[in-house]
């Protein structure tokens, strides 16, 4: 395992890349409504990213064709934007990546399309909370799996399951770096958290079983039982003062 520890200057470059991502997500949040297609959202995200002088980092990555990864309802991650029309009551995961001056940003949200069921709203709330429970464990001297355990514990306490087939990751001058950041496992394991580590923490939480399947397009991941799934992600730097959320709107928190 080769973990990079980023300087203060590098973390500011990562913050700038992540603020491009935050701006794209803000734009998508503002325009999201029933009747839009996922490809329209993709074009909006690309316009924001390119308009800020950055590059969509998912586009072309291992052959992925688009700027956004989308995930509607029972889809978990990595869906390809297309002519699918969003309907009232859907939920949609929006995962955005950008590269700016050699550094990468990555964040995701799952949003309601119009009015959604109480069950869907609860899944979104708990998954967002699970992300922040994980982020709260980002502190020098802690262990990587403290993050994982906090996410799993929160999700399962509300009757949900966490996806184990896909995990978070380090991020920096590559979109995916060591270490992997699982959303499950016992605390007190894995590498020690040290200042300068930057982690993309991204719980994927299912309403039903944790089992998932890959669709024929070789990208889209869906829950095997077809129940709902939610995905939230932030890129977070480990600092002496605790977690610095580089992809939070407004420059970090």
Whole-number Cα distances in Å, 231 to 76, 218, 239: 7, 19, 25
Residue 217 pLDDT greater than 90, yes or no: yes
59 backbone φψ class: left, alpha, beta (φ>0; ψ -120 to 50): beta
Band (pLDDT 50/70/90 cuts) for residue 251 is low
Return the residue matching tokens 């949609």: 92
Residue 226 pLDDT greater than 80, yes or no: yes
Phi, psi at residue 79, to the nearest 5°? -70, 150
pLDDT tens, residue by residue, 150-206: 999 999 999 999 999 999 999 999 999 999 999 999 999 999 999 999 999 999 999
Average pLDDT over residues 127-131: 98
For domain 8-241, is the CATH number 1.10.150.20?
A: no
Average pLDDT over residues 15-24: 98
Residue 68 pLDDT greater than 50, yes or no: yes
């Amino acid at each position: 395992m080769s973990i990079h520890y980023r300087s203060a200057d590098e973390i500011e470059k990562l913050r700038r890349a992540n603020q491009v991502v935050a701006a794209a997500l803000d734009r998508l949040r503002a325009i999201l409504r029933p009747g839009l297609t996922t490809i329209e959202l993709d074009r909006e995200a690309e316009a924001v990213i390119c308009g800020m002088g950055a590059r969509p980092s998912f586009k072309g990555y291992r052959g992925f064709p688009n700027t956004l990864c989308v995930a509607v309802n029972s889809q978990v991650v990595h869906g390809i934007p297309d002519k699918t029309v969003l309907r009232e009551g859907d939920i949609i995961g929006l995962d955005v990546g950008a590269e700016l001056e050699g550094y990468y940003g990555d964040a995701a949200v799952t949003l309601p399309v119009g009015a959604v069921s109480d069950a869907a709203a609860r899944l979104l709330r708990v998954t967002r909370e699970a992300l922040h429970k994980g982020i709260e464990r980002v502190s020098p001297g802690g262990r990587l799996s403290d993050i994982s355990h906090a996410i799993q514990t929160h999700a399962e306490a509300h009757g949900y399951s966490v996806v184990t087939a896909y995990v978070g990751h380090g991020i920096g001058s590559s979109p995916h770096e060591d270490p992997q950041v699982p959303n499950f496992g016992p605390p007190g394991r894995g590498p020690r958290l040290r200042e300068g580590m930057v982690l993309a923490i991204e719980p994927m939480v299912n309403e039903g079983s944790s089992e998932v399947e890959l669709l024929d397009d070789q990208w889209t991941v869906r829950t095997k039982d077809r129940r709902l799934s939610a995905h939230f992600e932030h890129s977070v730097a480990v600092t002496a003062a605790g977690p610095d959320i580089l992809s939070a709107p407004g420059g970090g928190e």
